[in-house]
Amino acid sequence: MSVRELVVLGTSSAVPTRHRNHNGYLLRWDGEGFLFDPGEGTQRQMMHAGVSSHDLTWICVTHFHGDHCLGVPGVIQRIARDRVDHQVQAAYPAAGEHYWRRLRHATSFGDTAVIVRRPVSGDLVEWPAGPVTLTARPLSHPIESYGYRLDEPAGRRMLPGELARRGVHGPMVGELQRHGSLTLPDGSTVTLAECSAPRPGQSAAFVMDTRLCDGVFSLADRVDLLVIESTFLSAEAELAAAYGHLTAAQAGRVAAECGVRRLVLTHFSERYSFDDEPRFVAEVRETYAGDVIVARDLMRIPVPKRDTAPKRAP
Which residue of 209, 224, 283, 297 would you call a contact of Zn ion, by CB under 5 A?
209
Q: Counting beta carbons within 10 angstroms of the beta carbon of residue 260, is it exposed (0 to 12), middle (13 to 18) or buried (19 or more)?
A: buried
Q: Is 86 annotated as a binding residue?
A: no
Least distance to Zn ion from the beta carbon of 245, Å? 8
CA 29, CA 132: separation in Å to the nearest integer?
9
Report the residue number, 65 or 166, with the smaller CB distance to Zn ion: 65
Specify the stretch interacting with Zn ion by CB under 5 A; choose among 39-47, 83-91, 205-213, 280-288.
205-213
Least distance to Zn ion from the beta carbon of 229, Å? 7
Q: At what angle do helices 42-49 and 72-81 cross, to 10 degrees?
A: 60
Least distance to Zn ion from the beta carbon of 98, Å? 17
Q: With contacts defined by CB under 5 A, how many residues of the chain interact with Zn ion? A: 4
Q: At what angle do helices 97-104 and 72-81 cross, to 10 degrees?
A: 40
Write down the catalytic residue from 30, 37, 67, 111.
67
CA 174, CA 164: separation in Å to the nearest integer?
14
Which amino acid is residue 104, in one-letter code? R
Q: Is 209 annotated as a binding residue?
A: yes
Q: Which residues pair with 292 in a beta bridge?
A: 263
CA 241, CA 211: separation in Å to the nearest integer?
7
Q: Is 85 annotated as a binding residue?
A: no
Q: Is 98 annotated as a binding residue?
A: no
* 275 classed as catalytic: no
Q: Counting beta carbons within 10 angstroms of the beta carbon of residue 213, is it exposed (0 to 12), middle (13 to 18) or buried (19 or more)?
A: middle
Q: Among residue numbers 250 through 279, which ones bind Zn ion (CB under 5 A)?
A: none
CA 102, CA 306: separation in Å to the nearest integer?
41
Report the residue number, 13 or 247, with the smaller CB distance to Zn ion: 13
- Asked if 13 is part of the footprint of Zn ion (rule: CB under 5 A), the reply reads yes
Q: Is 37 annotated as a binding residue?
A: no
Q: Among residue numbers 41 through 80, which ones bind Zn ion (CB under 5 A)?
A: 65, 67
Least distance to Zn ion from the beta carbon of 9, Å? 14
Q: Is 179 annotated as a binding residue?
A: no
CA 111, CA 80: separation in Å to the nearest integer?
6
- Asked if 283 is part of the footprint of Zn ion (rule: CB under 5 A), the reply reads no
Least distance to Zn ion from the beta carbon of 165, Å? 56
Report DSSP letters for 99-125, one per residue: HHHHHHTSS-----S-EEEEEE-SS-E
Q: By the criterion CB under 5 A, which residues form the site for Zn ion? A: 13, 65, 67, 209
Could you list the residues known to form a binding site for Zn(2+), using ranges: 63, 65, 67-68, 141, 209, 267
Residues designated catalytic = 67
